[in-house]
Chain A
């Protein structure tokens, strides 16, 4: 039995958005992309702009379905994953 395709909406903010060159896209995740960290590995294979955005891996933050998560967090049935620099509000 083949798993159903997992379409995920990706959002990028601040300098992550500028380096990737777009603010959002929808991608179909391969089955071996399980965690947020796996997703970053996979994105990095897609083009140099992703490599540049994630060059400082430990600096880029992620949110899954609008909740902050660590790189080891499972994607599960996530609908939306956002990548962004450490926040600087206030």
Chain B
């Protein structure tokens, strides 16, 4: 189990290798990478700045991770979330869920992302092509996605 908040980029293959290494009890590894999109519809952004609540963020991410371990038989998990200014195409978030079997790994990765989006204290501010900037609103769809886990 490990969580990390960082400004630096991450290497998915290297993080997976660090987490799994030579272990032979793991039959399924699901990795999810979230990336900055250039925009939706007509809106185009030049960058996105991620703010967080430093003293709470890693604690909340660890609680989410522990909850996943309580629900599924997981051999290993890793959560990385970047903060600071990111540009379209850059990676924002990494979730790795490793288990003996694929179902637990798939489900836990989805659960971890749903709860990161609705509970971890991060906020995104977008800077648009015309120089305006605006905070990203939370999406009801994300709340619904988290609620389906009960």
A13/B51 contact (C-beta < 8 A), A87-B121, A90-B116 known: yes
**Set A11, A66, A80, A90: member contacting B59, Cβ < 8 A:** A66
A82 touches B138 (CB 8 A): no
Q: Decide if B120 is an interface residue (CB 8 Å cutoff).
A: yes
The interface on chain B, measured as residues whose beta carbon lies within 8 A of the other chain's beta carbons, has a size of: 28
Within 8 Å CB of A22, what residues of B? Answer: none
Is the Cβ of B59 less than 8 Å from the Cβ of A89?
no
Report chain A residues within 8 Å CB of B81. 89-90
The reply to whether B56 and A88 form a contact with Cβ atoms under 8 Å apart is no
Q: How large is the interface on A (under 10, 10 to 19, 20 to 34, 35 or more residues)?
A: 10 to 19
**Minimum distance in angstroms from B104 CB to a CB of chain A:** 21
Segment of B9-17, B18-26, B122-130 engaged in the interface with chain A:
B122-130
Interface residues of chain B, those whose CB is within 8 Å of chain A, are 34, 50-53, 55-56, 59-60, 81, 92-93, 113, 116-125, 135-138, 142
Q: Classify the secondary structure of B's interface with A.
A: mixed
Report the minimal beta-carbon distance from B108 to chain A, rounded to whole angstroms: 15
Q: Is the CB of A90 within 8 A of B117?
A: yes
Give the distance in Å from the alpha carbon of A13 to the alpha carbon of B121 in the complex: 9
B125: A residues at CB distance < 8 A: 14
Cβ of A85 within 8 Å of any chain B Cβ, yes or no, is: yes
Interface string of A46-59 (1 = CB under 8 A from B): 00000000000000
Q: Which A residues are in CB contact (< 8 Å) with B117?
A: 87-90
